[in-house]
A and B are shown apart, each in its own frame.
Chain A
Amino acid sequence: MNYVLSIVTLAGINMIAVLGLSIFTGFTGLFSFGHAALVGIGAYASAILTYYYFVPFPIALVAGMAASALVSLVIGIPTLRARLRSDYFAIAILGFGEALRVILENLEITNGARGLPGIEPFTTLPIVAGCLAVSVWVASNFLRSRYGAACIAVREDPVAAEMAGINLFRTRLLSLVVSAAFCGLSGGLLAHFLSFIQPVMFTLVQSTALLAAVIAGGMGSITGPLIASFIFIAMPEALRVAQMWRLVAYGLVLVLIMLFRPQGLMGYQELTTFFRRSRNDRPAA
């Protein structure tokens, strides 16, 4: 595949995971340093299905989403119960991310630390574009619904949210499961794009990169994190700089955003809102 197209495809795949994390962190206000592990679950689950069992690709993708969602439930149910504390979950998913790497490195079916080569390259740019479009549509439906309103209320003020009839635990858990499903999809697409996956691809470094895109893009925005994610993937590639300088460039972008737009690229806004504003119908104050 053409080099530019492959970068765009990779960015699109990453955007789906960032979209998922943005629901959990940007809209529900909960932090996670382990969402890359949920991408990893989707990647391994779907790759194992097509590699060993010749399951059709679309079914494998859905199975990867389900696997991620299920794993997130297992982590979330015991840790999201505390009414006014969310740090239990943050610590648990961080630990899970590291544990997962060790497990994947020691299983036979995953081919250990050497990774799983020769996965069928089913993922194409049109497939990624389609998945991304549907994901954005579904995510914005979710956020406009009663469930999304509950997530945002929990982020804004958990006590007031309870007084609005919202069950904190159920809302946080649902947000986690939905975000995990997106990450699972991203993982499935990634595995069948690269044809090769390895446990080190889904650790704290990648989790931090996902979180950085959400924060830099703007908490509580869909479009902001998607733009940030695209920039983070495309820019270092476009600059074609050496590996070490990529990290520097990445850090520089983050610092610049935090300096000039501490609320993130889009703040709590959507790209569409900016267009509407510029057409001069600001709400009367």
Chain B
Amino acid sequence: MTGPLLEVKDLTKTFGGIRAVDGLSFAVAPGAITGIIGPNGAGKTTVFNLVTGVYRPDAGSIDFEGRSLLGIRPDQIVGAGIARTFQNIRLFNRRTCLENVLTPLLQKAPYSVPAALLRTPGVRRMDRELREKSRFLLAEMGLEKLADVQASALPYGLQRKLEIARALAMEPRLLLLDEPAAGMNPEESRALSALIEEIRERFNQTILLIEHHMDVVMRVCSHIVVMNFGALLAEGPPEKVRTDEKVLQAYLGKEYRNA
């Protein structure tokens, strides 16, 4: 019996007068793909920003593997085993795809500043190994041929994949994906669903996924959290959520009822 990997309780965040997140509680079970859905402005991205320490919550608690994440820096949260992608893509634009993935990998390389300044054989060896590892991660996302291309030159869909590769380089135990299928056509988003499921299996990865494409969410998630106006509207397995009266009214709409 294991507890939840991530547990959020009574989480609240206001911006000026807006309650972006309003007394939200939910939990993410280890090994599963959990979805967060809800209309635009429901506060989904803000939840990610609170979990990763980009913003400080006004109230509530966030526990990861039983330890509180409150009051520690974003880079420490990430170091504790949480990685994310961004809804509005944030790559290291003027670096190559390889360097984007290499940057987080390098941060765990245990060499000192003097060794780095002199580029000792040890530093060379570690850098070479991490480059290899970056290539492997790029290959996992089907980006190996683009290793030396500048990140900003990639089309949108591939930039999202590169962000996932960079997040996986953190070797997280929880991966947060913010609308990875945004801007993709149905065919591409189907391929992405398959990729997300594959990542879960290959890397034994727990995933928390914000997504608007209902086909993706219903297909890959075993548990869905529905948000509206910052608060929890409903939660449960896909079959239950898709027929929930409140969810249908607030978000999914009539077309979905008949689908």
Contacts and interface: CB of A to CB of B under 8 A. Distances in A.
B119 A166 contact: no
Interface residues of B, number: 41
B116 A145 contact: yes
Contact of A162 (B74, B108, B109): B74
B107 A156 contact: no
A126 interface: no
B78 A164 contact: yes
A209 to B, nearest CB: 26
B94 interface: yes
Q: Binding site of A, secondary structure by majority: helix, strand, loop or mixed?
A: helix
A164 B170 contact: yes
Given A162-B75, A164-B170, A285-B149, A147 B116 contact: yes
Residue with the greatest number of chain A CB neighbours at <10 A, chosen from B95, B102, B153: B95
B107 A166 contact: yes
Nearest to B152: A156
A180 interface: no
Interface in B7-63: 52-54
Given A146-B111, A167-B73, A162 B78 contact: yes
B103 A150 contact: yes
A150 B107 contact: yes
B153 A163 contact: no
- Among A163, A164, A284, chain B packs the most CB atoms within 10 A around the CB of A163
**8 A-B pairs with least C-beta separation:** A145-B116, A146-B106, A164-B104, A162-B74, A160-B90, A141-B119, A156-B92, A283-B148
Interface of B: 52-54, 73-75, 78-79, 83-84, 86, 90-95, 99, 102-104, 106-109, 111, 113, 116-119, 123, 127, 145, 148-149, 153, 166-167, 169-170
Interface of A: 138, 141-142, 144-150, 152-153, 156-157, 159-168, 174, 178, 220, 268, 283-285
